[in-house]
Amino acid sequence: MIDEVGPGSLKCVTASSPRRPLRDIVERALIEHAGAADVRHVSGDVFLVHTDADAAALRDQVAACLEDGESAFVVEFEAWSSCGPAVDRRWLLRRGH
C-alpha cells in the first residue's frame, strides 16, 4: 500500500494542562482536522501533523478542545531531524523536504 501524501507541511503540536491528560483529546482533534494518516503521536501530549492548514488554524482546532488554564503550541518545520523508534522515519521522509 502506498502512502498518499497531499499538499502541506509538517507541524509539531503540543498541549499542556495542570489538571488532566490531553493526549486523547488532542489526538481526536488533530485526526478530525488532518486525518489519521497524517497524525503521529511522538510522546506525552506531543504530535506531528502533516497538513496544508497554517499553524494558527491548527492551534485553533486544538484550542477548541481545551479548558481554561490549558495551553497549546504549534510550530511549522522548515527542517527536521530524528532518531530512534518513537518517530516513524519513513512517514517523516514522505512528508519532508
Quick one: pLDDT band at residue 11, thresholds 50, 70, 90?
A: very high
Q: What is the model's pTM? A: 0.79
Nearest to 29 by CA among 70, 80, 1, 69: 70
Residue 64: φ, ψ to 5°: -60, -20
Tell me: the pLDDT tens digits for 42-95?
999 999 999 999 999 999 999 999 999 999 999 997 777 777 777 777 777 776
The domain that contains 40 carries what CATH number? 3.30.70.240
In a domain, 90, yes or no: yes
In a domain, 4, yes or no: no
pLDDT of residue 23 exceeding 70, the answer is: yes
CB 16 within 8 A of CB 70: yes
Nearest to 14 by CA among 80, 78, 69, 58: 58
Which pLDDT belongs to residue 3? 65
Which pLDDT belongs to residue 96? 63
User: What is the domain extent for residue 86?
Assistant: 9-94
Task: Give the amino acid at 74.
Answer: V
Number of domains in the chain: 1
